[in-house]
Chain A
Amino acid sequence: MSFATTTRRYFHAHVWARISALLSLPIAWLGVLYIGSLAALFITSIWRIDTFTSKVVREFTLSNFIDVLTDKAYFNVTVRTVGVAIAVTIICAVLAIPMAFFIARVAKPKSRPVLIALVITPLWASYLVKIYAWRTMMAPDSGFLNWLVEPLGLSSPGFGMLAVIIGLSYLWLPYMVLPIYAGMEKLPDSIIDASADLGAKPGRTFLKIILPITWPAIIAGSLFTFSLSLGDYITVQILGGTFQMLGNVVYQNFALNLPFAAAVALIPVIVMIVYLASVRKTGALDNL
């Protein structure tokens, strides 16, 4: 028998051989390189730095964790960051659900790819440029927003937490629309018609039928908006004024106090893992 035939038969007979062959490369990459580097990073959180040269000294210490947990500032910044992430997720969801429904159900089938393309195209406009555009829009005296609302007697909110929330919602909206649209597309017409036939008004149909079915897709979208907001520091630097989030703390300390930055970086990681674990049951992970 030729070598080719033998190997083929071997792989055919042994499932684990096929699985290993398929998975070895990806696992080597993600498992060893990625997970390994994460582990290496978090191990530094139990070390400290030389106070003068700022180089890492490999001595065990829990001082980084004590600092993070006892200093009220870091508790505040965590609460604010999670709050911003939640606000962004809610705003994106409120906008994305009707939009996705519109594209999936109300728009003509021919115009669907066009509409989706319109929603996704901004992903290709540079992140930095979009945020900078918002910066010029929200500039306190000279921005576009100010010019727009001045006749109404209002003024631009300027740079701060609100600007950051608006900016982040703007950035991540397409990431929310896409999975929800995919979920809405799968909704069978029959269910909605049945609900109407049984006398439910559109609002009730929406709440009782559509929302629960597309819930996994909504959660999938929220994973993006939540995680992207949790770690963002660039938008905060550009739109935040003196406002800071967890990403900024990590960024500021990474340079010269990697152990401390690693300890702080654990916070968003833990938050995301808890969130991931709690949504696994909803099947959201299949909707990404």
Chain B
Amino acid sequence: MKITRVRKSVIAIAAGALLLSGCSSSDSDSAGGAYAGPIQDTPGTINVLAWPGYAEDGSTDPNVDWVTPFEKETGCTVNVKTYGTSDEAVQLMQSGGYDVVSASGDASLRLIFGGDLQPVNLDLIPNYADVFDNLKDRPWNTVDGANYGVPHGRGANVLQYTIDKVKPAPTSWSVVWEPNSPLKGKITAYDSAIYIADAAVYLMSTKPELGITDPYALDQTQFDAAMALLKQQKPLVAEYWADYTKYVAAVQAGSIVAGTSWQVIANVLNGEKSTVGAVKPKEGATGWSDTWMISKNTESIDCAYKWLNWIISPATNAQAAEYFGEAPANSKACALTSSKTHCESYHAEETDYWSNVYYWKTPTEECLDGRTDVKCIPYAEWVKAWSSFRNS
């Protein structure tokens, strides 16, 4: 009798496991229709998933806060969570619980096609009208005519260096890639598979014979060359960073003196006095253009729309773009930045500057540069190669 009982429970456990795994999570539907509106004044709570510096609520610096004014004006409560890489953003959005996300181009399409977002009804967002035309209806946030969000701003991944320790000021990425770099052991690199594109950008200048035109469209030969460059770089690297606060602390402690960075990190480091410089080197750089998007399953749709309208309003967009150090998306923001040359320094109204900034996007097997004679490496393979490389 006892034997049967134990066996029964074993069978039960196994069956339970199979049942648990057999039940399917909801498969990606095609996107439902956008919210028709009109926006109500229903109070609610939104969980905002944002790049650091995009949705400041006073916790980093009590004087930097455009979340609390929003809460006061709308009665909506906002909880901000920051993330370090686009991969983290995709995973967090997929696991649910977030209403709004600021996604870069390498996350946005994955979220759209994964069924995690809802299209956005731009008529309900009056401030959208003032967005720069060349940021509207971009391929990374508009699919089949349906818009999935509003742009936040754009910027390049800069080369940051500690002024006292790196002389003369660098103008090329060679200080982080070349084996004889004087900064060996004190370099940092971004801890995400998307960094392979940065290697590709460097190869575009140093090995033009490879024929790379788009760092996200790499065939096998080009990809292998990029991975080889990364392996060459590894002995130079002190740490790979994905948490910007850890990066700031490491620079302050002196264990990192140069590497790829965001302007906001340099701004935080230069808070009290100028300690680091940040440049876009002559080879160009990867960059990002971010979109605020709404989750498919949000329970506070009115608050979500209100947030989108608020964050791209001229005043807030100016504040955010200035704090982070990027080009704003709203054309009226340029007049409202406290530094009158902000838009000029960040090239918000130019086009030349952006010609060698390669916005993050998700590599696919179908080459993004239009080539049809070869297959390009899709992002899943980038991730595998990156994981293997980091653990070798």
A and B touch in the complex (CB under 8 A): yes
Binding site for B on A (CB under 8 A): 16, 27, 31-32, 35-37, 39-40, 43-44, 49, 51-55, 58, 67, 71-74, 76-77, 136, 139-143, 158-159, 238, 241-242, 244, 248-249, 252-257, 260
Known: A44-B21, A257-B383. A244 touches B391 (CB 8 A): yes
Q: How far is the CA of A158 from the CA of B87 in the complex (A)?
A: 29
Q: Mark B234-269, 1 if CB is under 8 A from A, else 0.
A: 100111100000100000011100000000000000
Beta-carbon contacts of B354-387 to A below 8 Å, as 1s and 0s?
0000000010110000000000001111011001
Q: Which residues of A contact B253 (CB under 8 A)?
A: 136, 139, 141-143
Tell me if B353 counts as interface (CB < 8 A to partner A).
no
CB–CB B90/A255 < 8 A:
yes
Which of B12-20, B30-38, B64-72, B152-160 binds A?
B12-20
Contact B254 A53 (CB under 8 A): no
Most chain A beta carbons < 10 A, residue from B1, B91, B246, B387: B387
The listed residue (B2, B237, B380) touching A54 by CB distance below 8 A is B380
Q: A52-B378, A55-B94, A141-B254 are in contact. Are A241 and B238 (CB under 8 A)?
A: yes
- Known contacts A242-B234, A244-B391, A255-B88; is-contact A52 B362 (Cβ 8 Å): yes
B5 interface hit (Cβ, 8 Å): yes
A53 vs B27: C-alpha distance in the bound complex, in angstroms?
A: 12
Q: Which of A35, A52, A140 has the most CB of B within 10 A?
A: A52
The 4 closest A-B pairs by CB, nearest first: A39-B17, A255-B91, A53-B114, A51-B380
Q: How far is the CA of A6 from the CA of B280 in the complex (A)?
A: 84
Q: Which residues of A contact B255 (CB under 8 A)?
A: 139-141, 158-159
| Interface pair A35/B380, CB less than 8 Å apart | no
Interface residues of B (CB under 8 A from A): 1-2, 5, 9, 12-14, 16-18, 20-21, 24, 28, 87-88, 90-91, 94, 109-110, 113-115, 234, 237-240, 246, 253-255, 362, 364-365, 378-381, 383-384, 387-392
- Counted as pairs of residues, one from A and one from B, with CB atoms less than 8 Å apart, the total is 120
Please pick, from A40, A53, A158, A242, the residue contacting B28 in the complex, using a CB distance under 8 A: A53
Task: Decide: B14 and A142 in contact? CB cutoff 8 A.
Answer: no
Residue in chain B with minimal CB distance to A80: B391
Contacts of A238 in B (CB 8 A): 246
Residues from chain A with Cβ under 8 Å of B365 in the complex: 51
B21 touching A71 by the CB < 8 A rule?
no
Contacts of B94 in A (CB 8 A): 54-55
- Known contacts A139-B255, A241-B238, A256-B90, A76 near B28 by CB under 8 Å: no
Can you give 25 contacting A-B residue pairs, CB < 8 Å? A32-B16, A35-B17, A36-B20, A37-B20, A39-B21, A44-B21, A51-B378, A52-B113, A53-B114, A53-B115, A54-B90, A73-B387, A74-B388, A74-B391, A76-B392, A136-B253, A139-B253, A139-B254, A139-B255, A142-B253, A143-B253, A238-B246, A242-B238, A242-B390, A253-B383
Which one of B2, B17, B234 lies within 8 Å of A36 (CB-CB)? Answer: B17
> Interface of chain A, helix or strand or loop or mixed?
helix
Q: Which residues of A lie under 8 Å from residue B388 when comparing CB positions?
A: 71, 73-74
Per the bound structure, the CA–CA distance linking A208 and B362 in Å amounts to: 64
Give every chain B residue within 8 A of A244 (Cβ-Cβ). Answer: 390-391
Least distance between B14 CB and chain A CB atoms (Å):
7
Tell me which residues across on chain A come within 8 A of B109, comparing CB atoms: 52
Distance of A278 Cα from B187 Cα, bound (Å): 45
A-B contact sample (6 more), CB < 8 A, given A16-B2, A52-B110, A55-B94 = A49-B380, A77-B392, A158-B255, A255-B88, A256-B87, A260-B384
Q: Among the listed B114, B379, B387, which residue makes an inter-chain contact with A252, where contact means beta carbons less than 8 Å apart?
A: B387
With contacts A16-B1, A255-B91 known, is A35 near B28, CB below 8 A?
Answer: no
Determine how close the nearest CB of chain A comes to the CB of B173; give it in whole angstroms: 19
Query: In the docked arrangement, what's the CA distance between A140 and B184, Å?
Result: 14
Q: What residues of chain A lie closer than 8 Å to B90, measured between beta carbons?
A: 54, 255-256
Which residues does chain B contribute within 8 Å of A140, judged by CB atoms?
254-255
Chain A nearest Cβ from B262, distance in angstroms: 20
Known contacts A140-B254, A141-B255; is-contact A76 B391 (Cβ 8 Å): yes
Report B355 CB to chain A, min CB distance, Å. Answer: 28
B293 to chain A, nearest CB (A): 15
Could you say which residues of chain A place their CB within 8 Å of the CB of B238? 159, 241-242
Contact A36 B13 (CB under 8 A): yes
- List residues of chain B with CB within 8 A of the CB of A39: 13-14, 17-18, 20-21
Least Cβ distance of B6 to chain A in Å? 11
